[in-house]
Amino acid sequence: MRMEVVTYSLRNGQFNSNQYYQDAAAFTDEVLKEAKVLLPIVGRFQEYVQNESIEAIRSAEEYTFELLMLGTLWRIYADDAQDISSGWTGIMAYLSRLRQRNQTLKPVADGIRGVLATIFLAPTDRAWSPKASLKHLDQLLQWMEATGDHVQEVRRLHNWSEYWETLSAGQVSGDIEAAIAFARWFEERSLKSLGKYTPNVEQFLQEKHREHRWKEDVVFSARRRVEYHLNMVGAEIMNRSFRADFQQTKHKAVILPACMRYHSKPKCQARSNGLSCECTGCEPKCRVNMLMKLGQKHGFSVHLVPHESSVFSGDAGKQLIGEGVGIVGIACVSNLVSGGWKAKGLGLPPQCVLLDHCGCRKHWHEQGIPTDINFGRLYQIIGITDEKAAENAEKAQGAAAA
């Protein structure tokens, strides 16, 4: 049986997503090679970060990715960001923080945000890009903050904004223009390298996205194809950058999204346990159940969470997972990079594994399609070298896909 592809599929009609992981690694190498033009900008920023003690200096690859992210988001959203007053963006940013902090008020906050986001934030198709300046960057950051989908990205780009405040307008414009030009190259090139894994994004935007109008995810579900490609490369860069720290952790925890369950509620018998759910193993074919068993065998913990925000919500998240634990975050392409940065910010070195496809009822599919991952990739990330176990997991994957 062929799996329905909502927006992306890492399997591209194959039995597993092994080829995707090879292609994503090769394309990331190409991106980083091409990004050498940005290295002087990155070097000057690293010097500023160090001199001003902004944060522990991170790798040039990570800062390069931040510039690519800025250029990409600028090309898509900087025009939309000019249309809204700071009063409205402030209200929406407040509601976004409220929904993260207060589960009781979340439905009310989401209802209001859905209406406001559809009126003020929903992206347009205008092909216009505002002048590369600090003023327009600040407007873009306010717009991103208002969406509630870019909390980690905004945090990082604020550091860049503060750095650029120390430079002349001409230098700022030159740096941002360089990021935009690189993003232009990236969009075109990524379509050739990774486009086969995102075949239905445009169709989804044209035919299905209207159903998200007036809903809280009206902006999140409107992501363009290039944003999927951006996150794919971001996930690869993040895994490389945080690998050494992750390997040094004594305990590993795998965070699973609820869309991996074979049955949705109420058929799924998982018991709610505060921030996460406890799988009772009601369904042998369920991927969550399989991963729980693998975790018991290979010594990693598995946490099934309703939403990544609940597991990484500050002290509560640390209570659930513990300190100094290596995290393997499993999420769909659109959520992965911000989740990784969030975990890193909490002192939990992250690695990520992408869901092979998206399918949750909340954002992507009316009935919901159980999601899945590449077990071989998970084994490689955790460092499990038990070939027999990997082989069994592959077989189970084949059985589940059939």
* Chain residues that interact with ligand SF4, rule: CB under 6 A: 261-263, 268-270, 279-283, 286, 288-289
Check if the beta carbon of residue 66 is closer than 8 Å to that of residue 230: no
> Residue 289 or 374: which CB sits closer to ligand SF4?
289
Question: Amino acid letter at 216?
Answer: E
Task: Scan for tokens 């090309």, then name that residue.
Answer: 75
Smallest separation, CB 9 to ligand SF4 (Å): 22
Check if the beta carbon of residue 352 is closer than 8 Å to that of residue 242: no
> Residue 54: how many CB atoms within 10 A of its CB?
14
> Residue 245 or 278: which CB sits closer to ligand SF4?
278
Q: Which residues contact 33 (CB under 8 A, 6 or more apart)?
A: none
Smallest separation, CB 292 to ligand SF4 (Å): 7
> Residue 288 or 384: which CB sits closer to ligand SF4?
288
Distances (CA, A) of 34 to 65, 153, 183: 12, 22, 11
> Residue 283 or 308: which CB sits closer to ligand SF4?
283
> Residue 11: how many CB atoms within 10 A of its CB?
21
DSSP state of 261: -
> Residue 200 or 392: which CB sits closer to ligand SF4?
392
Smallest separation, CB 302 to ligand SF4 (Å): 10
DSSP state of 4: P
Smallest separation, CB 257 to ligand SF4 (Å): 11
Smallest separation, CB 295 to ligand SF4 (Å): 13
Query: Which residues, in sequence order, are bridge partners of residue 302?
Result: 254
Q: Which residues contact 178 (CB under 8 A, 6 or more apart)?
A: 37, 38, 41, 67
Smallest separation, CB 354 to ligand SF4 (Å): 20
Smallest separation, CB 279 to ligand SF4 (Å): 3
Smallest separation, CB 133 to ligand SF4 (Å): 50
Check if the beta carbon of residue 301 is closer than 8 Å to that of residue 115: no
Show the tokens assigned to 193. Answer: 């390298």
Question: Amino acid letter at 97?
Answer: R
User: Could you tell me which of 243, 255, 270 has the C-alpha nearest to residue 355?
Assistant: 255
> Residue 268 or 354: which CB sits closer to ligand SF4?
268
User: Could you tell me which of 366, 382, 376 has the C-alpha nearest to residue 243?
Assistant: 382
> Residue 89 or 276: which CB sits closer to ligand SF4?
276
Smallest separation, CB 327 to ligand SF4 (Å): 20
CA dihedral 191, 141, 220, 224 (to 10 degrees): -20
> Residue 214 or 262: which CB sits closer to ligand SF4?
262
> Residue 32 or 254: which CB sits closer to ligand SF4?
254
> Residue 268 or 332: which CB sits closer to ligand SF4?
268
User: Could you tell me which of 237, 212, 235, 241 has the C-alpha nearest to residue 353?
Assistant: 235
Q: Which residues contact 24 (CB under 8 A, 6 or more apart)?
A: 194, 232, 233, 235, 236
> Residue 290 or 321: which CB sits closer to ligand SF4?
290
Smallest separation, CB 372 to ligand SF4 (Å): 13
Whole-angstrom Cα distance, residue 402 to residue 262? 14
Smallest separation, CB 258 to ligand SF4 (Å): 8
Q: Which residues contact 19 (CB under 8 A, 6 or more apart)?
A: 12
